[in-house]
Structure 1
Amino acid sequence: MSFLGIDLGTGSLKAAIVDEDGREQAVSGVAYALDTPHAGWAEIDVQTWWRALVDALARLPRDLRDGVRAIGLSGQMHGVVLIDASGEAVRPAMLWPDSRALDLLDAWPEPQPNPVAPGMAGPLLRWIVRHEPRTARRTRWALQPKDWLRVALGGALVTDASDACATALADPAGVWDTVLLERLDIPREWFAPLAPSYAAAGALSQQAARALGLRAGTLLATGAADTPCAALGSGLAHDGDALLTTGTGGQIVVLASEEPAALKGLHRYRAASDHWYRMAAMQNVGIALERVRGWLSYEWADAYREAFGDAAGKAGNNATHVMLNPSSGLTFLPYLSGERTPWLNPQARGGWLGLSLEHTRGAMMRAAFEGVAFSLRAGLDAIRASGAPVAALKLAGGGSVDARWRQLLADALDVELHAVDCPNAAPRGAAILGGLACGHWQARDLAVLAPGTTRVAGPRGDAALAGRYARFVDLYGRVEPWFGGTMHREAR
């Protein structure tokens, strides 16, 4: 007996099979690219998702597929998929990096229970109503990505609180805000009823089963958004458990047994279990480091070596190996695509300040690593200001495997870091939801299912680094007016 978890991500789809003890047995993934038909748009044909799913399942061993008892779903948060009464998409899916609705955010005046971004379903649907009335007339359902996938598999038309509460169209508990929908002229009937993430939500159709090499009638769980699925798959089970994920962006998630207090710049959402979670969401982690690496013409191994190579900060005979000197005055703002936590400024931008003729590529790369670490610290500071003391973080994500980078993160964040022994946390969390939906596991089993962790770094009390972080925050405050934003001073 086994359980299948499917994670419908922004740039790839992953499928993982776990056994009856929650151990990963096989995993596969298929990457795809977003479409940008206009500047600031981010779309994808849903058939691209379906083809990726078929391909990913074909790569899993047949005998393991034969043993799948239930399927759970995880999906990228925000965005929206519009389908007609027959279940066909009426246009490409619009995704969270989309900024076309930036000028429509005035419909969500402060204060809001959660920050509102242009790529959330609410602003995107407001844009559809205004600019694509023919699409609006054809629409029967407005679904989150993982909910579209479940319907395509033959499952029920439902959603869960973890996705609904992040649309900017529901209250923090995930209940649809009928008054807001009416004010925005968005039809209330577009939105699916709520069900628990771990509830049964239909069964795999004959057609989908044939395409995927699975058994027809296999139970489908409602599923959850990818961040709460990753938290579940990483073993967050108790109040105060915390997770740092580093990928294209970065998220810091802290589980809470009760609804957290609201704080500007910080998200508070429902978890895949009956918990809540605080979340700091930073947009520029891997995406910023990858762009800097390209600008500086580095291979990744060289980028790490030259950024972290000489702890004394002296060039010696090879100036390209110099580590950023604490007194060099070089600072990098990583906000290449705007920022969410804590600044809430989609117009924020980045770059180096303090460059001199003496600086090398290695120093510029080191400053980029520090700038990204400092942006994560600014997000963690917002969480701490909300009343959640965080002294340790579980660590997940493909962008956090280098030991030198991990140490910099521990120093900059002032936390112990414990790497999670689970490289595919989101699909594993989705698979666990499948096991809960069919009754194999109960909520009380979640702590036992937590994967192992290894302490990989701890803070060393680097006073010079703390001083550079203070300069980083001060610099952002000084240059933010150039971008048209207003710094949220309380986030400092």
Structure 2
Amino acid sequence: MSAEYVLGVDIGTTSVKVNLIDISTKKPIARQTKDTRADCPSELGPAAGNKQDAARIASAFHGCVSRLPRDKLKLVTSIGVCGQMHGVVLWKQGSAWGYQGERLELSTQASGAVSAVYTWQDNRCTPTFLASLPHPESHLGLSSGFGIPTVFWMAKNKPERLEKYDRAGTIMDLIVAMLCQLEEPVMSSQNAASWGYFNSVTGEWNKQLLEDAGFPVKFLPHVIPAGGVAGNLKQTWLGIPAGTPVGAALGDLQCSVFANLLRPGLDAVINISTSAQLGFVMPNDFQPEIKSADEDISSVQYFPYFDGQYLAVAASLNGGNSLALFVKILQQWAHELGFSVPQDKVWQRILDLGAANESTTLQINPTLLGERHSPEVRGSASNIDPSNLSLGSVTRSLCQGIISNLLLMMPRDFLVSHGVERILGVGSAMTRNAVLQSEVSKQYELPLEVLSGGDAALGAGLSRLLHI
């Protein structure tokens, strides 16, 4: 009997990852990853707007899958997709995608059939604008970068932009719609909750509330439970047979936890890549309560998981992106001084120096992007003196600050009171950065096990095995 496989896909903020997973062993037998290089300028400037080119993301996705073994792709029996939550892309049904030979391509922004991807890092929705929107009937609050507030902003400020389109979803929902050539986008409850205005207990949009407020409800996708099938591959693609079921796209955080959680209820997962999250699975009987309009957004949120369960999550906007900005600043300073230093050398040097500095009195709060529960907070540095301004000290303090910020959002006592005994570390920034690892152990005072290989793409694929 020949082996069978599932394809797991993660459409991330900076890269696409794919895993070809052997169903019998639940282990990946081939992996590919590709940077999307999809960031594109926003007319609002980098402080307010954050956009990506959907066609470049789709091209990176196609390129990754095309490099997997063709003889194994012919034996794929299911496809699981996850990716960057919260963001939104709009498209015109009937002209958003097409085949060029066996290459399935999204239309470019210039065609007018597909918009930019407005990502979770987009800051066009100011606190004042968000306060002007109706309060959602949901246990989750609103933040800039969420899909529905972003479309609300366009409806109020750029209505002509919306007139070109008749569909909307996350970038992963668009990829799934393209694979299955769906007439209507299908969204999982995980991604619906990440958009705002979704009641995850009833499984419904706040449709009447949105319609009364003037929101173009035609853009609301059809929602199904996480793990459900959105459709089937319309035609054979890169050897994967036509008719192969494709799951509704999931959240990358949920899939990252799913791929790595060894002991639900006893382990928490800390995932640091572009951003940073710390989360654990709540008991089966937990149900979140609808938030009232006068309640502040909590630093701990409850995200839909699988089979009716929820993740308790501290989701920070500031993670590896803070360190990446520091590296860019160092490169810029070197350039201004007349030197050119490759980025990989800067990374290696600061991590070596940071590891050599086991402690520092310098205090850096690296919340450069604010936080969803406190959007107006910004980064700061304090307790500066001549003895703590070395490169190693600054690197150590930055890493210390990333973890200290998570500790404020989800304290150690909160974890322990819910039965958590150990933290599992995942994500590209966490697995490559010994300084971050040491700070997690030091500040949380819990055993840390750093895992490699269990990425969100693996979780997306494994989630299909639960529902085949």
Whether the TM-score (by the shorter chain) exceeds 0.5 is yes
CA distance in 1, matches of 2:152, 2:116: 16
Q: 1:353 to 1:255 in 2, by over 3 A?
A: same
**Aligned to 1:11, which of 14, 17, 38?**
14
Aligned partner of 2:210 in structure 1 is 181
How far residue 346 of structure 1 moved from its aligned partner, in angstroms, is: 2.4
1:79 aligns with 2:87: yes
Rounded to whole Å, the distance in 2 between the matches of 1:201 and 1:90 is 20
Counterpart check, 1:357 vs 2:386: yes
The reply to whether residue 303 of structure 1 matches residue 350 of structure 2 is yes
Identify which of 428, 432, 442 aligns with 1:411: 442
Match of 1:93 among 117, 129, 135: 117
Partners of 1:110 and 1:154 lie apart in 2 by: 32
Q: Which residue of 2 aligns with 1:243?
A: 269
How many angstroms apart in 2 are the aligned matches of 1:278 and 1:181? 27
Distance in 1 of aligned mates of 2:136 and 2:93: 36
User: What aligned pairs does 1:119-198 form with structure 2 within 5 A after superposition?
Assistant: 119-154=145-180, 156=182, 157-173=185-201, 174-198=203-227
Shift of 1:195: 1.5
Distance 1:236 1:127, change over 3 A: farther
Name the stretch that deviates more: 73-82 or 265-274: 265-274
Task: Name the counterpart of 2:334.
Answer: none
Question: Is the CA contact (8 Å cut-off) linking 1:114 and 1:172 kept in structure 2?
Answer: no
- Between the aligned partners of 2:354 and 2:93, the Cα distance in structure 1 is 55
SS at match of 2:411: helix
Kept after mapping to 2: 8 A contact 1:108/1:116? no
AA of the residue aligned to 1:34: D
Instruction: Give the deviation of 1:310 after TM superposition.
Output: 5.4
The answer to whether the 8 Å contact 2:88/2:117 transfers is: yes
Q: Does 1:34 align with 2:66?
A: no
| 1:280 match | 314
Letter matched to residue 264 of structure 1: S
Q: Secondary structure at the match of 1:139?
A: coil
1:314-333 alignment, distance < 5 Å: 324=360, 328=361, 330-333=362-365
Which region of structure 1 is more displaced relative to structure 2, 84-93 or 122-131? 84-93
C-alpha distance 137-278 of structure 1, shift in aligned 2 (>3 A): same
Counterpart AA for 2:52: I
Tell me the SS of whatever aligns to 2:308.
Answer: coil
Do 1:146 and 1:225's aligned partners in 2 also have CA atoms closer than 8 Å?
no
Listed as ranges, the gaps of 5+ residues in structure 1 are 312-322, 440-492
Deviation at 1:333, TM superposition (A): 1.0
- 2:354 maps to a residue whose letter is A
Q: Which moved more, 1:376-385 or 1:412-421?
A: 376-385
In structure 2, relative to structure 1, the CA distance for the partners of 1:25 and 1:307 (3 Å cut) is same
Q: Distance in 2 between matches of 1:163 and 1:2?
A: 25
AA at the equivalent of 2:230: A
Q: Deviation at 1:301?
A: 2.9
Q: 3-state SS of the aligned residue for 1:338?
A: coil
CA distance in 1, matches of 2:324, 2:449: 24
Cα distance in 1 between the residues matched to 2:288 and 2:449: 24
Structure 1 residue 180: Cα displacement: 2.6
Give the Å deviation of 1:379: 2.1
Secondary structure of 1:399 counterpart = helix
Correspondences of 1:369-388 after superposition (within 5 Å): 369-381=399-411, 384=414, 388=418
**Matched residues, percent identical?**
23
SS class of match (2:402): helix
Give the aligned length.
416
Deviation of the 1:126 alpha carbon = 0.3
Counterpart in the other structure of 1:336: 368
Aligned to 1:269: 303
Within the alignment, does 1:113 sit opposite 2:139 as a pair? yes
Q: Deviation per CA, 1:275-314, whole angstroms, max 9, x where unpaired?
A: 1111111122211123334445672332233223255xxx
Please state how far the C-alpha of 1:34 moved relative to its aligned partner: 1.3
In structure 2, the partner of 1:23 is 27
Aligned residues of 1:296 and 1:361 also touching (Cα < 8 A)? no
AA matched with 2:439? L
Q: Deviations over 1:378-406 (max 9, x none)?
A: 12229818963533111111112344531
What root-mean-square deviation, in Å, do the aligned CA atoms of Structure 1 and Structure 2 show? 2.5
Q: Which residue of 1 aligns with 2:78?
A: 70
| Paired residues of 2:138 and 2:197 also in contact (CA < 8 A) | no
What is the SS of the residue equivalent to 1:162? helix
Question: Conserved in 2, the CA contact under 8 Å of 1:158 and 1:222?
Answer: yes
Amino acid at match of 2:269: L
Cα pair 1:77 1:225 within 8 Å, conserved = yes
Contact 2:270 2:426 in 1 (8 A): yes
Counterpart residue type for residue 99 of structure 1 = N
